[in-house]
């Protein structure tokens, strides 16, 4: 037994949930390192329970491991108790599969799904013994890459990443590995040569080759490309046909309870509903469906290979899948006898979706969750959440008719143009639900109905039409929460307001530029870890870090930005042109909706023509459902 294994075994009994760190899961892939040319450490900058729930990570683990010349092993950010033990006993960050130090891998890959995980990236690099700054790494160190939705503005992380990979990973990862392998076979000489070659791959952004300059007023003057190998604009990598790519049908099955503990089949990628606050809906265009036949085949294989008793059909909005009702019905009928439930993760706000959800959702029948996002019809036109008051009423009717006694409603406050009337309209939806409950269930039974109104604060994101908008401040958030809360005048309505301090930091990181990197690093040095966890987040640490680094949070979070301004993410092309974003922002101010291009006319956002793709809808072939 080697020294590291003995050390790890000695500390495991002393930390919470040790199985987070042990590995040994069903379907985990363990390869002999002598048999492969490339070793990738897929390092999720959050806990095991969150990381193991991430479908993108399961997909990439499968993509890398299906190569005979490469292995992919997993690591997760250690919880603070584990981090302390590791530092105390000199244990480096190690992988689940073989307990190998992450620093010994060729490539460390970080999926970035949420800005408030950024500080954990430092923990992981530091524990791996890898210099935090890209500029300090040598040929002897691993290549540090990152992917996921957050990389579309990764400027606050720019000094720490060697390469950011934009878009769908299924093809681009192989191009990266091929380039790396060749460089390694040539003797690993000159790291810069490797970065130059990687910069030539569509989807790969090498921050070191781009240099921002700033104006007197603090805004960005421009970005200069400093290396001829790097493109002026980096395009996203895009997969055009989901049926043609390999999907993991034998994903790793966790031994401990995780956040989404179920089999997942992706039914489509992208969403063109056009909600103006939604980052995912802007950076994943267009809609690309997987065929119902393929979905069924994958579903059967996954259930067989994992033993899960729940199968979820996932996408950004599964109720919009062309053959959703038939696909769900067929799978549900087939699988119920084997004790497997089919579920849909998100429910659109209308009667149809509530009925589909109800038809299959045999677990958690107690409540149904709907997200109208905006209280008044007016504000929903502003945010392009194309749900009418009638849709909302019909959804309530469908829910109570199906026998639900509780409805959870999600709303946003602090939206552009919002007035107190819009806020009171949020509470009004709760009262509507109660009225409908009394009509359908009768007064007596409706006494037991529970409505939860959950309110979060609007957070502007890069690459969305609302990137020009400020976030409301912490005091204003509290005031607006009170307006909603006071208007909830029935004890059956429960109001839940969300923590606004952490969403303030989320904005700083999501629309921040390269200067913010200093504050980010300082916050980590001051102890920031797992900032997305309410019990771990401390605002004062971030305020101190920003003060010490000369960063004004309000400049980033609370300032309205001009249409002519250069943004830190303008050289990264996610699919929608800046012209379209400005047009769409103007439409928002005029309270005008935009249609969904998968069903209506193309609005020329820029995605299809740039990436050479088109919306793909795949109705079932005759007789297959």
Tell me how far, at minimum, the Cβ of 25 lies from another protein, in Å: 6
Tokens of 387: 């749900």
508-543 burial by CB neighbour count: b if 16+ within 10 A, else e?
Answer: bbbbbbbbbbbbbbbbbeeebbbbbbeebbbeebbb
Tell me how far, at minimum, the Cβ of 28 lies from another protein, in Å: 8
Rounded CA-CA distance 446/431 in Å is: 12
> Binding residues for another protein, how many (CB under 8 A)?
25
Nearer to another protein, 182 or 362 (CB): 362
Output phi, psi for 369, to 5 deg.
-110, 130
Nearer to another protein, 255 or 417 (CB): 255
Segment holding 119, helix H or strand E:
helix 118-128
Instruction: By CB under 8 A, tell whether 55 contacts another protein.
Output: no
Output phi, psi for 111, to 5 deg.
-80, 130
What counts of helices (H) and strands (E) characterise the chain? Answer: 23, 19
Tell me how far, at minimum, the Cβ of 27 lies from another protein, in Å: 9
> Judged by CB under 8 A, which of 2, 3, 13, 90 binds another protein?
13
Encoded one letter per residue, x for contact with another protein by CB under 8 A and - for no contact, window 300-339 reads ----xxxxxx----------------------------xx
Nearer to another protein, 338 or 590 (CB): 338
Tell me how far, at minimum, the Cβ of 52 lies from another protein, in Å: 13
Tokens of 447: 């006494």
Instruction: By CB under 8 A, tell whether 255 contacts another protein.
Output: yes
Residue whose C-alpha is closest to residue 94's, from 39, 147, 49: 39
Strand residues in 523-613 grouped as ranges (E): 572-573
Adjacent-strand bridge partners of 457: 413
Nearer to another protein, 19 or 84 (CB): 19
Instruction: By CB under 8 A, tell whether 23 contacts another protein.
Output: yes
Tell me how far, at minimum, the Cβ of 88 lies from another protein, in Å: 18
Distances (CA, A) of 126 to 91, 181, 210, 462, 517: 11, 25, 25, 28, 16
Tell me how far, at minimum, the Cβ of 299 lies from another protein, in Å: 15
Tell me how far, at minimum, the Cβ of 73 lies from another protein, in Å: 15
Instruction: By CB under 8 A, tell whether 253 contacts another protein.
Output: yes
Residues between 529 and 558 with contacts to another protein, criterion CB under 8 A? none
Adjacent-strand bridge partners of 506: none
Tell me how far, at minimum, the Cβ of 323 lies from another protein, in Å: 26
Tell me how far, at minimum, the Cβ of 454 lies from another protein, in Å: 25
Contacts of 560 (CB under 8 A, 6+ apart): 468, 469, 470
Rounded CA-CA distance 338/250 in Å is: 18
Q: Which range touches another protein (CB under 8 A), out of 15-23, 57-65, 231-239, 526-534? A: 15-23
Instruction: By CB under 8 A, tell whether 365 contacts another protein.
Output: yes
Nearer to another protein, 262 or 290 (CB): 262
Tell me how far, at minimum, the Cβ of 363 lies from another protein, in Å: 5
Nearer to another protein, 308 or 537 (CB): 308
Residue whose C-alpha is closest to residue 267's, from 620, 623, 622: 620
Instruction: By CB under 8 A, tell whether 257 contacts another protein.
Output: yes
> Judged by CB under 8 A, which of 4, 22, 179, 533 binds another protein?
22
Instruction: By CB under 8 A, tell whether 12 contacts another protein.
Output: yes
Instruction: By CB under 8 A, tell whether 25 contacts another protein.
Output: yes
Helix axes 516-525, 539-549, angle to 10 degrees: 130
Instruction: Tell me the pairing of strands 220-225 and 210-214.
Output: antiparallel
Residues between 148 and 207 with contacts to another protein, criterion CB under 8 A? none
Tell me how far, at minimum, the Cβ of 584 lies from another protein, in Å: 44
CA angle 47, 318, 511 (to 5 degrees): 55
- Tell me how far the alpha carbon of residue 493 is from its chain's centroid: 30
> Judged by CB under 8 A, which of 182, 362, 419, 592 binds another protein?
362
Rounded CA-CA distance 427/490 in Å is: 10
Instruction: By CB under 8 A, tell whether 233 contacts another protein.
Output: no
Encoded one letter per residue, x for contact with another protein by CB under 8 A and - for no contact, window 339-358 reads x-x-----------------
Instruction: By CB under 8 A, tell whether 563 contacts another protein.
Output: no
Tell me how far, at minimum, the Cβ of 307 lies from another protein, in Å: 3
Give the Cβ contact number of residue 355 at 10 Å. Answer: 16
Residue whose C-alpha is closest to residue 508's, from 535, 475, 471: 471
Nearer to another protein, 87 or 365 (CB): 365
Adjacent-strand bridge partners of 314: 266
Nearer to another protein, 84 or 253 (CB): 253
Instruction: By CB under 8 A, tell whether 527 contacts another protein.
Output: no
Instruction: By CB under 8 A, tell whether 89 contacts another protein.
Output: no
Distances (CA, A) of 205 to 230, 291, 571: 8, 32, 9
Tell me how far, at minimum, the Cβ of 3 lies from another protein, in Å: 12
CB 442 within 8 Å of CB 434: no
> Judged by CB under 8 A, which of 5, 68, 259, 363 binds another protein?
363
Nearer to another protein, 305 or 624 (CB): 305
Distances (CA, A) of 17 to 47, 77, 91: 11, 13, 18
CB 392 within 8 Å of CB 349: yes
Q: Which range touches another protein (CB under 8 A), out of 167-175, 250-258, 413-421, 476-484? A: 250-258
> Judged by CB under 8 A, which of 256, 280, 543, 625 binds another protein?
256
Tell me how far, at minimum, the Cβ of 13 lies from another protein, in Å: 5
Tokens of 562: 């001009």
Tell me how far, at minimum, the Cβ of 625 lies from another protein, in Å: 25
Encoded one letter per residue, x for contact with another protein by CB under 8 A and - for no contact, window 266-305 reads --------------------------------------xx
CB 92 within 8 Å of CB 101: yes
Contacts of 557 (CB under 8 A, 6+ apart): 470, 471, 504, 507, 508, 511
Residues between 26 and 45 with contacts to another protein, criterion CB under 8 A? 26
Given the rule CB under 8 A, which residues bind another protein? 12-13, 18-19, 22-26, 253, 255-257, 304-309, 338-339, 341, 362-363, 365
């Amino acid at each position: 037994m080697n020294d590291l294994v003995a050390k790890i075994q000695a500390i495991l009994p002393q930390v919470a949930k040790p199985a987070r760190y042990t590995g040994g899961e069903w379907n985990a892939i363990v390869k002999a390192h002598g048999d492969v040319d490339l070793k990738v450490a897929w390092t999720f900058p959050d806990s095991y329970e969150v990381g193991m729930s991430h479908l993108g990570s399961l997909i990439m683990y499968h993509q890398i491991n299906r190569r005979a010349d490469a292995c992919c092993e997993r690591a997760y950010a250690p919880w603070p108790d584990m981090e302390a033990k590791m530092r105390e006993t000199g244990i480096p960050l190690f992988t689940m599969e073989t307990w190998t130090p992450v620093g010994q891998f060729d490539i460390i890959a970080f999926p970035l799904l949420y800005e408030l995980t950024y500080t954990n990236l430092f923990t992981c690099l530091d524990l791996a013994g890898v210099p935090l700054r890209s500029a300090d790494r040598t040929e002897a160190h691993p290549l540090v890459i990152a992917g996921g939705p957050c990389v579309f503005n990764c400027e606050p992380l720019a000094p720490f990443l060697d390469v950011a990979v934009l878009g769908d990973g299924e093809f681009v990862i192989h191009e990266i590995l091929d380039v790396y392998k060749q460089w390694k076979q040539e003797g690993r000489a000159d790291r810069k040569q490797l970065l130059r070659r990687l910069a030539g791959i569509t989807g790969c952004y090498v921050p070191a080759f781009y240099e921002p300059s700033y104006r007197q007023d603090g805004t960005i003057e421009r970005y200069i490309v400093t290396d001829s190998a790097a493109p002026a604009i980096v395009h996203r990598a895009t997969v055009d046909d989901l049926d043609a790519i390999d999907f993991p049908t034998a994903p790793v099955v966790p031994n401990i309870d995780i956040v989404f503990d179920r089999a997942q089949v992706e039914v489509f990628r992208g969403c063109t509903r056009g909600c103006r606050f939604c980052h995912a809906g802007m950076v994943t265009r267009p809609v690309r469906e997987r065929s119902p036949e393929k979905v069924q085949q994958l579903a059967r294989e996954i259930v067989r290979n994992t033993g899960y008793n729940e199968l979820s059909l996932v996408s950004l909005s599964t109720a919009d899948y062309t053959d959703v009702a038939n696909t769900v019905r067929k799978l549900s009928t087939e699988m119920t006898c084997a004790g497997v439930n089919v579920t849909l993760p998100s429910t659109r706000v209308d009667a149809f979706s509530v009925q589909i959800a109800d038809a299959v959702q045999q677990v958690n029948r107690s409540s149904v969750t709907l997200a109208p996002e905006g209280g008044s019809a007016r504000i929903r036109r502003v945010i392009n959440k194309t749900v009418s008051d009638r849709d909302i009423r019909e959804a309530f009717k469908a829910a109570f008719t199906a026998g639900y006694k509780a409805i959870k409603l999600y709303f946003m406050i602090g939206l552009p143009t919002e007035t107190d009337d819009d806020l009171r309209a949020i509470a009004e939806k709760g009262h509507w639900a109660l009225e409908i409950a009394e009509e359908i269930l009768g007064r007596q039974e409706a006494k037991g109905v529970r409505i939860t109104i959950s309110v979060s604060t609007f957070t502007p994101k890069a690459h969305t039409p609302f990137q020009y908008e400020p976030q409301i401040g912490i005091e204003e958030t509290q005031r607006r929460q009170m307006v909603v809360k006071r208007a909830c005048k029935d004890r059956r309505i429960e109001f839940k307001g969300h923590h606004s301090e952490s969403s303030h930091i989320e904005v700083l990181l999501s629309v921040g530029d390269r200067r913010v990197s200093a504050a980010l690093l300082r916050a980590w040095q001051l102890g920031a870890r797992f900032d997305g966890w309410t019990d771990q987040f401390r605002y004062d640490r971030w305020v101190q870090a920003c003060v010490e680094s000369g960063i004004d949070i309000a400049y980033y979070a609370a300032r309205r930005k001009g249409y002519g301004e250069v943004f830190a993410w303008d050289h990264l092309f996610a699919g929608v042109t800046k012209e379209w974003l400005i047009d769409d922002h103007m439409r928002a101010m005029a309270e005008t909706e935009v249609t969904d291009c998968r069903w209506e006319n193309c609005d020329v956002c820029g995605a299809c023509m740039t990436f050479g793709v088109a919306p793909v809808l795949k109705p079932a072939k005759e007789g297959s459902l």
